[in-house]
Amino acid sequence: MTRTRLLAALVMTPLAIAAILLLPTPWMVALGAVILLAGLWEWFDLAEIEDTLARTVLLVAHLALMVAIVWASRTGTGYTLVLFQMAAVAGVVWWLLALLWLGRYGFASDHAGYARAFKLAAGALATIPAWCALAWIHYAPPNGHRWLLTALAVVWAADTGAYFAGRRFGRRKLAPRVSPNKTVEGLIGGAVAGVAAGAVFALVAGAKPAQLPAVALVALATVLFSVVGDLFESLLKRHAGVKDSGHLIPGHGGILDRIDGVLAALPAFALGKAVMGF
């Protein structure tokens, strides 16, 4: 499994980096929408929306909201980021509230209509703010494309660090009922790797050495939010009784399995970057 994961990562990572660095923001935002909506389609499955027509209508509604945000953000000279920023802040608030849901494992765990409604609302609050944060980071000068790469590098490094640290040193379970394989040691290893990656990539993005403590703090917060996103998807999979959200990516499961942490991390990084001023 490790070899398969590594091979898949070796294929996906260069493509992702090339897209982030080379695509202009409108195209990057469009590509981000495609990937996030693909993950949302799998989220509908975890929310037990089995009817294809219903899932298609829901997906089109989310796409329409994205288009409406872009349309309403037009100005005479370009675009304003206000709506994107507001949505990203809403995403941060949502993921903080998601901690309460994680603390109550049984909430919305049955198959009633209200449970599906809560999970669909959670899907919207996860996907739209993450997409808005992606646009905010990539569009904001200077070097927005490099800062988006920095945000994603933090998540990727944290995921890799947590995986190997957990396998080597993992003893204490982090959230055994939600995700039995995650450990406190893995979390620590992921945090160290994520902060280190954040510092290195931030320098490439143009951060000054004096800004590195602020970058490290934001990177740490980004890692912790990514863990919340990962755990929340694990909770949904537990409720649905499945191991993976899909089978599209060898060794990694579905699209949602790859972007669950990113959904929570991007709003946190975007807001932290704005607050810290780097």
Whether 24 has a pLDDT exceeding 60, the answer reads yes
Residue 134's nearest CA partner among 28, 11, 246 is: 28
**Residue 73 backbone phi and psi in degrees, to 5:** -95, 0
pLDDT in tens, 223-259: 999 999 999 999 999 998 888 776 665 555 689 999 9
Name which residue leads in pLDDT, 114 or 44. Answer: 44
In the structure encoding, which two tokens stand for residue 18, read together? 């090339």
Within 8 A by CB and 6+ apart from 135, the residues are: 25, 28, 29, 32, 81, 84
> What pLDDT, on a 0 to 100 scale, did the predictor assign at position 160?
92
Global pTM exceeds 0.95: no
> What pLDDT, on a 0 to 100 scale, did the predictor assign at position 182?
92
Low-confidence winner among 68-72, 132-136, 174-178 (lowest mean pLDDT): 174-178
Confidence band for 109, pLDDT divided at 50, 70 and 90: confident
> What pLDDT, on a 0 to 100 scale, did the predictor assign at position 213?
97
pLDDT in tens, 58-80: 999 999 999 999 999 999 888 99
- Where would I find the beta strands (DSSP E) of 77-165? none
Within 8 A by CB and 6+ apart from 200, the residues are: 153
pLDDT in tens, 177-229: 899 889 999 999 999 999 999 999 999 999 999 999 999 999 999 999 999 99
Query: CB atoms < 10 A from the CB of 252, how many?
Result: 18
Name which residue leads in pLDDT, 91 or 104. Answer: 91
> What pLDDT, on a 0 to 100 scale, did the predictor assign at position 1?
47
pLDDT in tens, 27-63: 999 999 999 999 999 999 999 998 999 999 999 999 9
